[in-house]
Structure formats: C-alpha cells, structure tokens
A and B are shown apart, each in its own frame.
Chain A
Amino acid sequence: MSESDAVLIKPKDYKTSVKPIWCPGCGDFAVLSAITKALAWMKLAKEEVALISGIGCSSRLPAYVDSYGFHGIHGRVLPLAAGLKVVRPELTVIAAGGDGDGYSIGGNHFMHACRRNIDMTYIVMDNRVYGMTKGQASPTTAADWDKSKLTPHGTGVPPFQPLSIALAAGAGFIARGFSGDPNQMSKLIVEAIEYPGFALIEVLSPCPTFRPEQKEWKHQVRQAEDIPLHDPVQAAEWLAADDGMSSGLIYHRAHPVWQALHEVGSTLADIEQEFRI
C-alpha cells in the first residue's frame, strides 16, 4: 500500500444524505454498514461502483450508498446488473435485494446468473419474509410459519435452499453472512468483489417488524470453521447437513467468467458491403 493510502478508513464517506426508511432495528442497516466498510477498505472510487437492486425494503439500499445506483423493478436486479457489467466491465457492480426479490419473482434470473458467471457480487438480505408488503411468506420461510394472513396454515411448502441451488446452478462463490456481524460481512463482501465471477452472499438479516423471533438469530448464528470448501460434492453435502445458521465463506472455486468477445477491426461500412449484390 502506498503512503498516501495510509489514512483512516471512513465508511461514513460512502453514505449519502438520504435517510433509510427501514424500521429501527432492521438487519439491513448492518448490510449497509458492511458495504460501506468494504468499499472504504478497498478505497474504491465512488464513481466506479454501481449498486443495483430490485424492489423490497432491502432493495432501497442503493440510494443510501454514495455510488452510482439503480433501484429497478421487483425481481429483475440480476439482469439489470448484468447489462451494466457487460458494457462497463471496469465498474464494480454489486447487486442487492431481498429473498422475495431474488428467489421468488427473480428465481429464474438467480439460477441463470449463477451459471452465466458474470463478474459481480450479489447480496441477498434474507429475512424469510416479504417485508415491504407487510409480512407474507417468502420462498425461504419455514413451511409451518403461520403468521401471515395470506397463509394462515403456513405455506406447507418446504423452503427454498438458495445456497444449494446456487451451487447446483454453477456459482463458484457462496457465502453466508449475518447482520449481527457486519465486520465479518464486510470481509465476505471484499472477498466477493475480488472474486472473478458471480459471488453470492446470503445475509441473514432479521426483520424485527414481521419476524420478531429473528432477534434470536444472534444466539443461533455461528461462524463455521471447516470452510471454505472447494469441491462441489463436498459443498453439496455440507450444505445439505447445515441448519442454515452457519456463516462464512462456504464455497470457493474458480469458474470461467462470462465475457463479451470482440473481434474489432471492422467498420459499419464493411458490414454494409455484405448486402451488395
């Protein structure tokens, strides 16, 4: 590190003056904190970072970070981010959103982003509920959670397993963070940004408003010790055995990164020649 770098890290510099609308106590605050810590630690130029999101409480995040941002539409964060990254590969692109946004309405994009492996970081703030629309069950909600009027008997559907699905779909960077530990999360974010390819960080981010029982997560989440794994079979077994409460970088493996190919050298006039009789 050069001498001029030897300054105090000020994550606050990466925040805008826009005040979050999140409920006090929402886990998403810690994600915001972790992101700004990671950006500050990496000393990324603000204009070289883009935070892209969908719709949901969690998707409000880009407006709070002093970088370029796009608050798109529900479920489409990954294609929005992919389009940007493909044309502007030099930017640091971070996609963010909720479990509903990413795993339900955006579920198809999630799988294809894992396999396409465009170089970006995807942070899913998983609170196992739809916060923004008043607490309905999400894909990661337990089958017997019956606190939503929409599913008075619970969903009766086994929860979506985002990390196992990401692994099966070909993701090479799979991590789980926890809002209760923003510093560890910032480490995961730095590693994810540095990873060449699609990096998934699933963050256990409590929703005290609709899932007050998630306050207990701080007593349940633990840092896993035997990770990261590099072998997909081992990782699959590990994930299958996991109770969803272990945090850390779980799986790390290099995969070919999707890149646009150019064979520049032609002009439009050359292309038009081909139409000539």
Chain B
Amino acid sequence: MTQHNNISIAITGSGGSGAVTAGLILLEAMAQAGFYGLMQRSAGPQIRGGESAVMLRFADHELCGPADVFDLWLALDWLKVRRFVDEIPLHGGSQIISDPMIGEPPAEVTGQQAAFIDLSLKQTAATVEGGRVNMVGIGVLAAMLGLSVATMHKAIQKTLSDKGKAVISASLAAIEAGMRLVPSGSVPLTANWQVATGERWNISGNEACGLGALRGGVRFVAAYPITPASDMLEWLAPNLEKIGGTLLQAEDELASINMIVGASFGGVASLTATSGPGLSLMLEGIGLAVASETPITVVNVMRGGPSTGIPTKSEQADLNQALYGPHGDAPHLVLAPLGISDAVFTTQWAVCLAERLQTATIVLSDQSIGQARAIVSPVPETDMLCTRQTAQDIDGEYRRYTLTPDGISPMAIPGTPYGMYTADGLEHNEKGTPSSMAADHNVQLTKRSDKLLQTDYGEHWAEIAADDEAVADYLLLTWGSVSGVVSEGAGRLRDQGYSVTVVAVRLLMPLPLQQMKNALSGAKKILVVEHNYSAQFYHYLMSLGAIPQDASSLARPGPLPLRPGEIVTTMTGEQHE
C-alpha cells in the first residue's frame, strides 16, 4: 500500500544562487541522518548562470519516483521562475520559503494556494563572512527537517570537500544561522520517521549504468559527449582507468559505435553511451554488430525528441528507434532500467546478454533516471553468466559463423592461432565469406534471430507486483523509468480498495510473449503507461498481439514527468464513464 512518511521539496534559483549545490548538500545530509531520497534537476538553457531547479523527495523508505506535489519550496530568487512553475505543482498545504527582499513572486506563484514563510535569508547571510543565501536556506530546511548541526557538518564536508576550508566554514556558519531562523521547539517534519541503520548508497542513474557496465565486464568505452549521457562518461573515464580499462572520447558517434565494435572484435566487452541524436547516428554500426555477431552495448539516455528536441528533459520516445532502427532484419536486444538502482542490474544484464548472445544490446535509460541522484540501499552483485564463447585450440578449418544448436558460434579472438577469419557486415556463409546466396542468407538470418528467441531470459524480463487476488481489477503495464511512478499510483489504487497488478517490463526485445500472456491473464482492465506522445510501447505490444484489443493507453510526452496521481485518475476516471 502507499507508504507515507515522505516529503517533497523544490529549491529554485538563478545564476550563481547555488540551488543545485543546496540540493546536493541536503540530499547528503538526509542520507547521513538515515533517510532515503531522490533528487531530480531542471535547468534553463544557459551554460552558466541560468535558472535552475532541484526537485527533492525524502522518505524513510526507498523511493521510486517523484510525488504529485511539493510540500516545500525554497525560492532563492524569483528570476525566470516561470519556467519551472509547471514542474513544481503545489497543494493547499504547501509552504513557500522566501525572502521578501529578493523581490515579488510572479502571479503564477502567488495565484496558488500555498502559504508563504517569509524569512530574512539575505540579511542573515550577510551576518556571516562569506555567507550565502543558499546555505542559509539549507539551514532553514535542515532545521525544519530536524537535521542536527553535526549531520550538516558531515554533509558539508563530503559535498564541498574540494572547495577549501574557508568555503566550508562559511557555509557551515551560514547553515547554522539559517537553522536559527526556525523557532526552536517546532516539531521536525521527520519526527515519526524510521531511521535506517543499514548501509545506503548515494548514486546517480548514470553512475548506476556505469557501475552495471563495469560489473558486466565492460573494459572499453568510446563515446561522444551528449546531454544527458555525458556524466555517465565522466564517471566511467576515471573508474575504467582504475581497473585497467579505457575510455576514448571519439570524434563523433559514428566513430564511437565503430570503435566499440572494433574493441569487442578484439575480445573486450565494450559499450558506448549516448542520447537520441547519437543513437540515430549509430544505427548503421549497430547493424554491423548484429550482422557480424560482435557483442556491444549501447546505453541510450533518452531526452525529449525529435531532432535536438529538449535535451535536458526526459521522455521515453526513442523506443521505436531502439526496436526498429537498424535497417534490414537485425535482431538485437532492447532493455530498459526500471529506476536508478535497477540501472545497475539492467546494464549489467544487458552487457552479459550481449556477450553471451554475441549481439547488440540497447539499454533505454532516460534523463529522469540518468541525471537523478538517489539515496538507495546498496545494489548487491548479481550472479550472471557474462562470458563470451570463444574458440580455442582450433584444429581443422575454423568457421566463425558455424551453425550450432543454440545459434551461438564460438568466436576466435585475434591472437588465437588458426582462428583467422574476416568478420563481415556483408551477408556471409558459415566461414564468414561474403555470400548473396538465398540459402546462406536464410540460414544466417535464422541463426541470428533464433539465438535470441531460444534463450530463456528467466524471471528478469519484468518486475511483476500482484495482489493476492486471483484476478486483478487493474493491470498497469509499463516499462523503464516510469515504472516507479506507476508503482506508486498502483499503491494508491490499492488504498482505494482495488486489486492492482503492475507489470514493469525490463526486456523489451525480444519480448517473452508467453510470460507476458501469463502475467496479463485474467486482468479486467489493462492500461499501458509510457512517457511519449505516440504510445510507442502500446503499439508495439499491439503489433505483437501481446495485449488484448481493449487494453488502453496512457501516453504523455515530456517535458513534464508523469506523476502517480495521473495513473490513479486515468484508471478511476475511466471507470466512472
């Protein structure tokens, strides 16, 4: 059922106000205090000095997505705040903390029901040497949340460790001054929250993908920077180096995809990360990996599209391209992480499957996962078979694309005596020699397709959360990042007395149809939820006959995130029709 004990806080401010730093400090402080959290970001188009917003949510349990509304809003200034008004929905009990001295809030804000808490943030900051408004603001929030000075010390030390002593002590002084603005004796917002005792991690979705890649054995990454994938690369570059791997910044995505194909041909598990525009450029290379049966993994951190689209906002609109992008019949795998923690598992699984099945795997993460940071339980190592079948001790003629019962042909890695062959994107025979014969084409097409279809992907293809009821009233079918929001919506529906099943699909292609049918069987009402305009997932499922004709669709594009309430009203609203 719905878990309470959570609070949502927005912090906004323009150039130099330090809203993002404030968010990071608060996230770390709440983690230190034994809670869980989630931080998402939104920013204007400026490189520096632009307006930015951080959306925080804290709880005493692991969170899977944003809430419907914000309880607190710390406004460091009101410049260009209109940009974010849509992204910060409020409710009657919401409180807006600001300083009248920073100016008048715009009508879009004052028009809402929320109450204002006016505090002299600016003046307070001025009382501290080097004091800044954002730190005073954090102090206010910290006091309201019941965080101790000691906790704030730890959080500051950790977050600002590279900023030097003076900054740290000024920040601490300002935070403490801010804490004093909150009347002592007020009841902390986290008063009856449970404090976690176990270990927790502070990790971003992009870092989680990176970690999953390393766990899967990736030791070579080539990539071209693109928002919102770049910080995965920034995390991977130094960490790959530490364990003997390499990251190469390529001249473009055409290069990066071909570099990883080359590296994988050399026997090293390889990956690239990009976003929609980059994925478009990579399609021909992905097809090459499929045809030449060279394992690669492509993490696509989706952003709003088409074209350059909305680079800093999330959308699940690259599904069609991931499924159908490469020309020709090019069977490959498409997976999607169901949240930040799950990005570790899903990326690792993707790499392992690519290696095992000698094919291309596309991982569809998105901005809402990639650029979000969360406090989560540590993600345990999962045992998976990640090894590529290689050809060793070759005697006699080596046939690179030899037919085997499972369609997987042992791959000779350069350096292996007597294994010399030429990998080819041209259709070929079992030896690898180019061939345009119908028989060879048929055999190789079937081989490449069957090796994926014959694999038993086990239970990981989806996360299924069902009630005890034999038949669910509602079945919510979804994929990727919005799974968290859907789960939270399902919880609320359960609170209202409905029995609800959530099927969150992690393996999108090939979709295990029989398992899907089992999971869906008997559901009275099916809603397919996704974050794009044209209901790509819904149509994909329809085309496969995976869902009944009367299944309905909730498909909404970005830039605004889906929220749990939307799921509830879609379901119950429709029911009253």
Whether A and B touch directly in their complex, counting CB atoms under 8 A apart, is answered as: yes
Residue interface mask A61-72, B partner, CB < 8 A = 1? 011001111111
Partner of B239, one of A47, A52, A271: A271
- Please, could you name 23 A-B residue pairs with CB atoms under 8 Å apart, sorted by A? A18-B433, A47-B416, A68-B412, A68-B414, A71-B434, A72-B425, A73-B425, A78-B255, A79-B258, A79-B259, A81-B262, A86-B248, A88-B266, A88-B268, A91-B415, A108-B251, A262-B241, A262-B246, A264-B244, A268-B214, A268-B215, A276-B201, A277-B28
- From residue B248, how far is it (CB to closest CB) to chain A in Å? 6
Q: Known contacts A70-B265, A267-B243, A277-B31; is A112 also within 8 Å of B259 by CB?
A: no
A165 within 8 A of B: no
Give the docked Cα–Cα distance between A82 and B256 (Å). Answer: 10
Q: How many residues of A contact B (CB 8 A)?
A: 54
A220 within 8 A of B: no
Query: Which segment of B136-144, B284-292, B565-573 sits at the interface?
Result: B284-292
Report chain B residues within 8 Å CB of A78.
255
Give the docked Cα–Cα distance between A19 and B131 (Å). Answer: 77
Q: Is the CB of B243 within 8 A of A271?
A: yes
Q: Is the CB of A264 within 8 A of B417?
A: no
A260 within 8 A of B: yes
A residues 186-230 near B (Cβ < 8 Å) are none
Give the docked Cα–Cα distance between A72 and B326 (Å). Answer: 15
Q: Known contacts A47-B419, A80-B262, A108-B252; is A86 also within 8 Å of B433 by CB?
A: no
Q: A47-B419, A80-B265, A83-B260 are in contact. List 14 more A-B contacts (CB 8 A).
A: A47-B416, A48-B415, A63-B422, A68-B414, A69-B420, A69-B421, A79-B259, A79-B262, A80-B259, A82-B255, A87-B246, A90-B415, A268-B243, A276-B201
Q: Is the CB of A76 within 8 A of B416?
A: no
Partner of A262, one of B214, B244, B288: B244
Give the docked Cα–Cα distance between A256 and B28 (Å). Answer: 43
B106 within 8 A of A: no
Partner of A72, one of B245, B288, B432: B288
Report chain A residues within 8 Å CB of B423.
69-71
Instruction: Among B211, B248, B414, B418, find the residue whose CB has the most chain A CB atoms closer than 10 A.
Output: B414
Report chain A residues within 8 Å CB of B254.
75-76, 79, 108-109
Interface residues of B (CB under 8 A from A): 28, 31-32, 199-203, 207, 211, 214-215, 219-220, 222, 239, 241-246, 248, 250-252, 254-268, 270, 284-285, 287-288, 292, 375, 378, 412, 414-426, 432-434
A46 within 8 A of B: yes
The 9 closest A-B pairs by CB, nearest first: A83-B262, A69-B422, A83-B259, A83-B263, A266-B242, A79-B258, A275-B201, A260-B246, A79-B255
- Name the CB-closest residue of A to B220: A87
Give the docked Cα–Cα distance between A11 and B242 (Å). Answer: 43
A167 within 8 A of B: no
Q: Known contacts A79-B254, A79-B255; is A63 also within 8 Å of B242 by CB?
A: no
Report chain A residues within 8 Å CB of B222.
79, 83
Q: Known contacts A88-B266, A277-B201; is A83 also within 8 Å of B414 by CB?
A: no
Q: Known contacts A88-B267, A268-B215; is A71 also within 8 Å of B242 by CB?
A: no
Q: Is the CB of B199 within 8 A of A277?
A: yes
A residues 10-52 near B (Cβ < 8 Å) are 16, 18, 45-48, 50-52
Report chain A residues within 8 Å CB of B412.
68
Report chain A residues within 8 Å CB of B270.
83, 87
Give the docked Cα–Cα distance between A45 and B270 (Å). Answer: 26
Q: Is the CB of A82 within 8 A of B433?
A: no
A270 within 8 A of B: yes
Give the docked Cα–Cα distance between A264 and B251 (Å). Answer: 26
Give the docked Cα–Cα distance between A262 and B245 (Å). Answer: 7
A261 within 8 A of B: yes
Q: Is the CB of A47 within 8 A of B420?
A: yes
Q: Known contacts A70-B265, A72-B425; is A112 also within 8 Å of B419 by CB?
A: no
Report chain A residues within 8 Å CB of B262.
52, 70, 72, 79-85
Partner of B420, one of A68, A91, A271: A68
Report chain B residues within 8 Å CB of A87.
219-220, 246, 263, 266-268, 270
Report chain A residues within 8 Å CB of B243.
264, 266-268, 271
